[in-house]
Amino acid sequence: MTTTLWRNARLVTLAGPSGWGLIERGAIVVDGATIAWAGVEADRPDTLAIDADIDLGGALVTPGLVDCHTHLIYGGQRANEFEQRLEGASYEDIARAGGGIRSTVAATRAASDATLFASARDRALALMAEGVTTLEIKSGYGLSAEHEARCLAVARQLGRELALTVRTTCLSAHALPPEYAGRADDYIDAVCAWLPALHEAKLVDAVDAFCERIAFSVAQTRRVFEAARTLGLPVKLHAEQLSDSGGAALAAEFGALSCEHLEHLGDGGVRAMARAGSVAVLLPGAFYFLRETQAPPVAALRTAGVPIAIATDHNPGSSPTLSPLLMLSMACTFFRLTPEESLRGMTMNAARALGLADRGRLVAGQRADFAAWNIDHPNELSYWFGSNPCRRVVVGGVERQA
Ligand code: DI6
Ligand code: FE
């Protein structure tokens, strides 16, 4: 294994429970794919034999970004619905009229594997250009055993072919496919029945559902979660995005890794999440694009000690963004997170939302995933918007080529 010294850096370690953990004149020793040591360069223990030495030119270095909630794999796009919404239709109106998620399902089913892969690859590359080193990808636009498997396989292929970690989430309970119209319970039975085969094929790292009045009920979501539990798969949930449906409390009952969106989360849901240790994944891109006005209860989440993560929620209907950095900015402007909370939300807390304890901070023992930025202070990551100061990215100890 090669041991590399990454020197002449200003490290944003996020090592403690709060604060940036800034180390001036810092260095990182990487052994294989793991951080062996991080600290002030002058204090580097001479017991660590170094094979290679790389000068980071005084750059500010943070943990690699973790985008813990995306729907990256789909056919087509929905700019026409954006126009309809500008003319007054609501997201829910469009969904009820058979558009929305279901129109993307039709386009996804019609797309070849190669087309799905090529379009998702371009999107992943855009996220990676802004420092993303770990990416969650949900299914949910196939909505049949065959097409869900195809989409999850494309996600796996991205993980093999690109220099980042991909975690897959099965979101088959995303919307009711047309062939099950009026038979939501039968569709949930079908989802529960195909989950074991997807798991057997090693296509699923976690299970998600959309619990909402335009999607699936708490009782239906519970059945999906029971199927996941039987297979030993962790769960997460799209909860309280458009209304307070009680999804977060249900997810907490199943020890969910995370609940996501949460604009309409009430006090009971906050308490349940705190007890379960679930992460609150906030998605300012969807809030912005759907022109929501009710922000998630950030103050209550903070007081209850619920970890907060931020993600792009990239999808063609409610958050067609490929800029994780813009989400950091919006998390501050719309949701009043501090820049430090935003960065923790797209590093260590996002990793936790994926069940990954091995990344998200620059400390010994963590995976060597980090990004070097052309900025003076980490608060600038939430300050600039529409520009990209990312200069270099290291994934598992290896520098990613631009
Ligand atoms: N909530 C969302 O915001 C996305 N999925 C979900 O459950 C939207 C997906 C879409 O409109 O295509
Ligand atoms: Fe989503």
DSSP state of 36: E
Coil, strand or helix at 285: helix
Residue 318 in contact with ligand 1 by CB distance below 6 A: yes
Q: How far are the Cα atoms of 17, 236, 247, 262, 318 from residue 241, in angstroms, in the given order?
A: 29, 14, 10, 5, 11
> Which of 263, 318, 321, 327 maximizes ligand 1 atoms within 8 Å of its Cβ, making it the mutation to test the pocket?
318
Residue 317 in contact with ligand 1 by CB distance below 6 A: yes
Q: How far are the Cα atoms of 30, 47, 78, 122, 126 from residue 163, in angstroms, in the given order?
A: 17, 30, 29, 13, 13
Residue 72 in contact with ligand 1 by CB distance below 6 A: no
- Sheet holding 390-395: strands in order across? 34-40, 22-31, 3-12, 52-63, 370-373, 390-395, 398-399
Residue 78 in contact with ligand 1 by CB distance below 6 A: no
Closest listed ligand to the CA of 281: 2
Mean pLDDT of 345-364: 98
- Which residue's CA is the closest to the ligand 1 atom numbered 7? 210
Distance 178 CA to ligand 2 centre (A): 20
- Which residue's CA is the closest to the ligand 1 atom numbered 3? 318
Mean pLDDT of 23-52: 96
Closest listed ligand to the CA of 317: 1
Looking at residue 48, its pLDDT comes to 86
Whether the pLDDT of residue 389 is over 90: the answer is: yes
Q: Is the pTM of this model over 0.95?
A: yes
Question: How many Cβ atoms sit within 10 Å of the Cβ of residue 333?
Answer: 12
Contact partners, residue 5, CB within 8 Å, separation at least 6 = 27, 28, 29, 30, 44, 50, 52, 53, 54
8 Å CB contact between 203 and 237: no
Q: Which residue has the higher pLDDT, 95 or 236?
A: 236
Question: Where does 264-382 have alpha helices with state H?
Answer: 267-276, 284-289, 298-304, 324-333, 339-345, 348-353
> Which of 71, 94, 319 maximizes ligand 1 atoms within 8 Å of its Cβ, making it the mutation to test the pocket?
71
Whether the pLDDT of residue 215 is over 80: the answer is: yes
Structure tokens that stand for 301 in this block: 């989440």
Q: Which residue has the higher pLDDT, 302 or 401?
A: 302
Taking alpha carbons only, the member of 128, 21, 139 closest to residue 67 is 128
> Which of 78, 315, 327 maximizes ligand 1 atoms within 8 Å of its Cβ, making it the mutation to test the pocket?
315
Whether the pLDDT of residue 402 is over 80: the answer is: no
- Which residue's CA is the closest to the ligand 1 atom numbered 2? 318
Query: What is the pLDDT confidence band of residue 96, given thresholds at 50, 70 and 90?
Result: confident
Mean pLDDT of 108-125: 98
Residue 273 in contact with ligand 1 by CB distance below 6 A: no
Looking at residue 401, its pLDDT comes to 86
Distance 149 CA to ligand 2 centre (A): 19
Give the chain's mean pLDDT: 97
Residue 95 in contact with ligand 1 by CB distance below 6 A: no
Mean pLDDT of 97-102: 90
> What is the longest distance spanned by two Cα atoms in the chain?
69
Render pLDDT for 69-84 as a digit per residue (tens, 0 to 9): 999 999 999 999 999 9
> How would DSSP label each residue in 180-198?
GTT-HHHHHHHHHHHHHHH
Pairing between β-strand 34-40 and β-strand 22-31 as defined by DSSP bridges: antiparallel
> Which of 210, 237, 240 maximizes ligand 1 atoms within 8 Å of its Cβ, making it the mutation to test the pocket?
210
Distance 147 CA to ligand 1 centre (A): 18
Render pLDDT for 130-158 as a digit per residue (tens, 0 to 9): 999 999 999 999 999 999 999 999 999 99
Looking at residue 119, its pLDDT comes to 98
